[in-house]
Structure 1
């Protein structure tokens, strides 16, 4: 496919490569997985062009293809492929990291970090597509880089060399690895996790359970390259680029900033209001400082920017306007972009979208910006991403690049979504995106629910593991619920999740849209926590699926090795201490001590780095034919290998069709899977006659749909 696309691009027909009709008519899990994502749009210094990168999974090769494009911002010509982007750089949780390009001042080149052949270098690509090349060629992976103001010198930083890291790993292997508070327990200790494009030995980083390679604490070493002569020299401390200004250094409640390179002014987003038990203050204030030492901020006081969930800020080049993005929870996290004139105080709407309008999949990522226009990635729950030009004065929108037209058409025809709004008995407001089941007849459909965050194109909830559109096409309505504000008290925040599910099930059932006796639920991380809480505290679910471990005695034992950082986090966010000291709280929260309350079958598809934390409740459930556990090697918190993701997608689809519809895929390769589930079904009927599961027994008893 890569060679085919390259040939078409050379012929000037890039759009054709992405508009070939799909072979399958349905919205299959594979089609959802292989969506072309767009990210990191950056506009050239003269405002005439935009550079951006695409990313697409390849199941067959178990990798992601990334390509850098440059396109005229007027949209009169198709995008021009200028370089491969290398392997996707990811954080230790498995999420893709932003990788924006830096334009040369003359607009002839873009510079970007890329992971190619196991090395992270700064690359340079010619905007006319004539070629790309690595510029740094360092023995260590590049951590950061910057161009000087005239584009003649490239400065970059590195840590330990790749050879030094490999030697440190081997030395540990040979001597034995000493277990201390930095060692991630519950996974293989030698080269077991993907970091910087290779299986590496890991250590805990500075934040909770994040991971880092060996020697990650090696201080930065900065080098300068004269781009005309290619000569290198080490930088003196006085020449090193200033570190990025941290928002909290300017205001303890600030969480995001944007600096105006021309005036030195700084725009800040500051959390305000009374928390009332929330982890974060409920409102966001937009302010501008004349400089980092300014103590008299200018505040945006318009009703359009007060008591709003502002998630992004940028300066409009060459003027006095700050562009800010509001992510509206009442609109299912739909986004709007406004411009605020700091001098006059006037605020005007630029664009209002049904979904994301940002710089990628992250709702807080930045659009490309020039004095006249934005270049934004736009995506809705039922429409895959495309790149749009948005005029800052008129708000006029123009699609520059749509790499997923066939999927967009099929989603519109087969799996359109609806925004739901509802309140629970206490008056708490919720929103979610609902994919009604395609069904035969008038009988209510089963329902699948996931709870956490529902932003952008919904291919499967947070973590992308539950194919919502595929479920709907198979006759199971699917709903993604946006979580309530995050309460510090774990029982309160879990209770809100349960209340959201209970109230929306009642709403949909009363309208005759779903069958309240056939409800399934799944989630990752916080979504897994709420799913297990719903299992323990209600009889609402007929089947469940989780990917992440939750608080358990095993989790406490393994995490306790981290010491005070773990204990303080556990106390703050779960109000848990040592099990023998806070036993009542453990009995309330942990599934380990509530196995008798779990009545529905559970599918567990967990990453190798985490599954061991769940074994003290998973093993008893497996032994009693109440759970089925699959573990994916070398995967972190969010699985990312395409083959693993497709397997999880397809198994979740099979799982909920089995338990909510009594359906089995006749594919012989899945016979062993159904053999296990049939045994679970028989055990449910024999040992737990009160179970809400709606399977109907063994295969010989089951009637085809």
Structure 2
């Protein structure tokens, strides 16, 4: 039924604490210099002590002969609406002397440039408004940048609303404070909805861009002429029928050809077409593409593509679902049709972005890629495009790398009773005590260095070190039908518990589960519709009438999304469907205790079912101020990690941390345990 593969190490480590998982250093903005000799990148690292992030720009020779050279402070990382750090690609000057980048420093977002030799950095813009975007002219002589509303104007608009009262319209996100409730560009700012009912933007974000040209020699500024303003990147092309849906478009730099990825195949109940095709158009007006027909182009999902400079080759990245979505890079000569492998990994090999496809830094001969696996933190490697030879350039997490090398993470593959294949990264338990160890599972994304799953809240390595086997299950292809999607997740959990129990690796009577976003939804569904779980932890809201009421204020776009994702209308329109999905209508079926650690922007939406569960001692709710969908403040992330570890040690192993500061926490959990039905309780390590 299953195949267990890929042991990643030998003896376990004993020092992988939640704090070490929080403070992992990550890469961003990997870019190779025009002469192909150097690479620039930013290192971003949380620090719990100061509850902030340190980011630094480095330049390093691609020959690997010297260590990275620190060239500039990267400032406070900018974040998108859901809390993720925005990738920060730098722009090299044509002569390779400078890197240009956008940075938040001293409360301002400006364009800076740093000398590649480390001799200094300087701010270039320094206007009254934050810089939204920038480009460098082809000759490197001018900087073109755009700004929105001035900072003081935005602050005044926020204060005016505060003093007059905030009129509630469709743009106001209900369920969070109406004044300066979320972090935008490093400060607490008033937020508004624009594109849909969940993504938030700062006040006056709709002010049109104003573009300025800065002469880098004379430092004179002028309004940029309309015909010189940067055009929007080509995002779509029209193909003849039968070539699939265009997914990604990559024009050839300084050329006419266009590489593209299309989604192909019949959906058959899936949310997206299951396959991908790689193709190239000779020019933007062409409608019939030339397809890559090599086996490598059909061996998995292609999710990234870029041109190899000065050649007829396209570099493309393939993810193999059967290998835990491990990535490999190939090169395709669009003129001859020849395809050759470049590099294969056990995890991610890209530009450093963990959730979305991203490109390595590239020159004619070399790739500079961030490589990360479940058992190893991210590091930077040089990869020869022709030979595939690899050289490690920089590991910013050497101590954690050494300790993770002693863990025994392995890729697990199995099939459920319906024939659906699943994969997951499995962390066998250490120091479990007598009897078989308990199991913790999460269902969503498990790519690269897993640390805590999507949202980084569930410390897999720490759980395993403490005697709880941990498994991060990778999401199977999403189903159009919401019930089928949730049932697929439940089946993944039940089938792997049965498998691991049959192999004598875990105790099936002590199983915990947790997750964020869809991971939370699948956890709540499994708690409600299965008897497999002993305890659960969620980080996001679930479907409920209160959720519908608050989000429906946005207007017609919300019902459309609700219908597409879950086939739900308003509660009075589809009552039976709501009874299937919402915890509110299934409170009597929830037997396992639930820890809820929710962001302030979302927690109110869950109160119609959370309050009854709390009053009956079946849930414990914590709310983290000023946090969006994915929490990002280091102190909050550490608190979530540590409480999740405490929670599952308590419910699955009967173990309490003797720290006096946690007495009240355990007193409450003991009271919860005493009030639960006997069938939901579990003894200590003896089973």
Tell me the TM-score range normalised by the shorter chain.
Answer: over 0.9
Superposition TM-score, scaled by structure 2 size: 0.96
Residue aligned with 2:295, SS: coil
| Structure 1: runs of 5 or more not aligned | 1-23, 697-702
Q: 2:30 pairs with 41, 53, 57, which one? A: 41
Whole-angstrom distance in 2 between the partners of 1:580 and 1:263: 56
Contact 1:125 1:131 in 2 (8 A): yes
Contact 2:269 2:480 in 1 (8 A): yes
Structure 2 residue 216 is the aligned partner of structure 1 residue 224: no
Residue aligned with 2:208, SS: coil
Whole-angstrom distance in 2 between the partners of 1:171 and 1:443: 64
Whole-angstrom distance in 2 between the partners of 1:236 and 1:228: 19
Aligned pairs for 1:573-592 within 5 A = 573-592=565-584
Residue aligned with 1:517, SS: coil
Structure 2 residue 614 is the aligned partner of structure 1 residue 622: yes
Q: Counterpart of 2:363? A: 370
Describe the shift of the 1:440–1:487 C-alpha distance in structure 2 as closer, same or farther (beyond 3 A): closer
Q: Counterpart of 1:651? A: 643
Residue aligned with 2:297, SS: coil
Q: Counterpart of 2:634? A: 642
Q: Counterpart of 1:392? A: 385
Whole-angstrom distance in 1 between the partners of 2:150 and 2:480: 42
Deviation at 1:249, TM superposition (A): 6.2
Whole-angstrom distance in 1 between the partners of 2:101 and 2:303: 25
Q: Counterpart of 1:313? A: 305
Deviation at 1:250, TM superposition (A): 6.6
Q: 1:570 pairs with 548, 555, 562, which one? A: 562
- Per-residue deviation, residues 591-629 of structure 1 (Å, max 9, x unmatched): 010000110000000000000000011000000000000
Pick which of 292-301 and 172-181 moved more.
Answer: 292-301
- Per-residue deviation, residues 400-441 of structure 1 (Å, max 9, x unmatched): 00111211111121x331000000001100000000001356
Whole-angstrom distance in 2 between the partners of 1:110 and 1:189: 39
Deviation at 1:312, TM superposition (A): 0.6
Deviation at 1:27, TM superposition (A): 0.4
Contact 2:432 2:468 in 1 (8 A): no
Q: 2:507 pairs with 501, 506, 515, which one? A: 515
Contact 2:443 2:519 in 1 (8 A): yes
Whole-angstrom distance in 2 between the partners of 1:282 and 1:82: 44
Q: 2:55 pairs with 46, 53, 66, which one? A: 66
Whole-angstrom distance in 2 between the partners of 1:378 and 1:605: 31
Whole-angstrom distance in 2 between the partners of 1:567 and 1:303: 42
Whole-angstrom distance in 2 between the partners of 1:42 and 1:221: 27
Residue aligned with 2:471, SS: strand
Pick which of 634-643 and 301-310 moved more.
Answer: 301-310
Describe the shift of the 1:164–1:197 C-alpha distance in structure 2 as closer, same or farther (beyond 3 A): same
Q: Counterpart of 1:689? A: 678
Q: 1:506 pairs with 482, 498, 507, which one? A: 498
Deviation at 1:704, TM superposition (A): 11
Q: Counterpart of 1:199? A: 188
Structure 2 residue 404 is the aligned partner of structure 1 residue 411: yes
Q: 1:553 pairs with 539, 542, 545, which one? A: 545
Q: Counterpart of 1:360? A: 352
Q: 2:261 pairs with 252, 255, 269, which one? A: 269
Pick which of 400-409 and 418-427 moved more.
Answer: 400-409
Q: Counterpart of 1:596? A: 588
Q: Counterpart of 1:4? A: none
Structure 2 residue 274 is the aligned partner of structure 1 residue 282: yes
Contact 1:361 1:456 in 2 (8 A): no
Whole-angstrom distance in 2 between the partners of 1:112 and 1:695: 56
Aligned pairs for 1:22-41 within 5 A = 25-41=14-30
Whole-angstrom distance in 2 between the partners of 1:171 and 1:260: 48
Q: 2:294 pairs with 297, 302, 312, which one? A: 302
Aligned pairs for 1:226-265 within 5 A = 226-247=215-236, 253-265=245-257
Q: 1:52 pairs with 25, 41, 60, which one? A: 41
Structure 1 residue ranges (4+ consecutive) displaced by more than 6 angstroms after TM superposition: 249-252
Whole-angstrom distance in 2 between the partners of 1:247 and 1:550: 34
Contact 2:101 2:111 in 1 (8 A): yes
Contact 1:248 1:255 in 2 (8 A): no
- Aligned CA-pair RMSD: 1.4
Q: 1:77 pairs with 66, 72, 77, which one? A: 66
Residue aligned with 2:490, SS: helix
Deviation at 1:32, TM superposition (A): 0.7
- Per-residue deviation, residues 430-487 of structure 1 (Å, max 9, x unmatched): 0000000013567211000010010010111100001000000000000000011111
Deviation at 1:224, TM superposition (A): 0.2
Q: 1:169 pairs with 158, 163, 169, which one? A: 158
Whole-angstrom distance in 2 between the partners of 1:263 and 1:513: 56
Deviation at 1:46, TM superposition (A): 0.4
Whole-angstrom distance in 2 between the partners of 1:523 and 1:248: 37
Whole-angstrom distance in 2 between the partners of 1:593 and 1:310: 41
Deviation at 1:208, TM superposition (A): 4.3
Residue aligned with 2:214, SS: strand
| Structure 2: runs of 5 or more not aligned | 1-12
Contact 1:122 1:134 in 2 (8 A): yes
Aligned pairs for 1:87-98 within 5 A = 87-98=76-87
Deviation at 1:498, TM superposition (A): 0.4
Deviation at 1:262, TM superposition (A): 2.9
Aligned residues: 671
Pick which of 333-342 and 31-40 moved more.
Answer: 31-40
Whole-angstrom distance in 1 between the partners of 2:585 and 2:85: 36
Q: 1:479 pairs with 427, 446, 471, which one? A: 471
Contact 1:446 1:515 in 2 (8 A): yes
Contact 2:434 2:686 in 1 (8 A): no
- Per-residue deviation, residues 620-652 of structure 1 (Å, max 9, x unmatched): 000000000000000000000000000000000
Whole-angstrom distance in 1 between the partners of 2:520 and 2:55: 31
Q: 2:149 pairs with 152, 160, 171, which one? A: 160
Residue aligned with 2:21, SS: helix
Q: 1:445 pairs with 433, 437, 443, which one? A: 437
Whole-angstrom distance in 1 between the partners of 2:239 and 2:88: 26
Q: Counterpart of 1:339? A: 331
Whole-angstrom distance in 1 between the partners of 2:434 and 2:388: 43
Whole-angstrom distance in 2 between the partners of 1:550 and 1:196: 29
Residue aligned with 1:515, SS: coil
Whole-angstrom distance in 1 between the partners of 2:384 and 2:280: 24
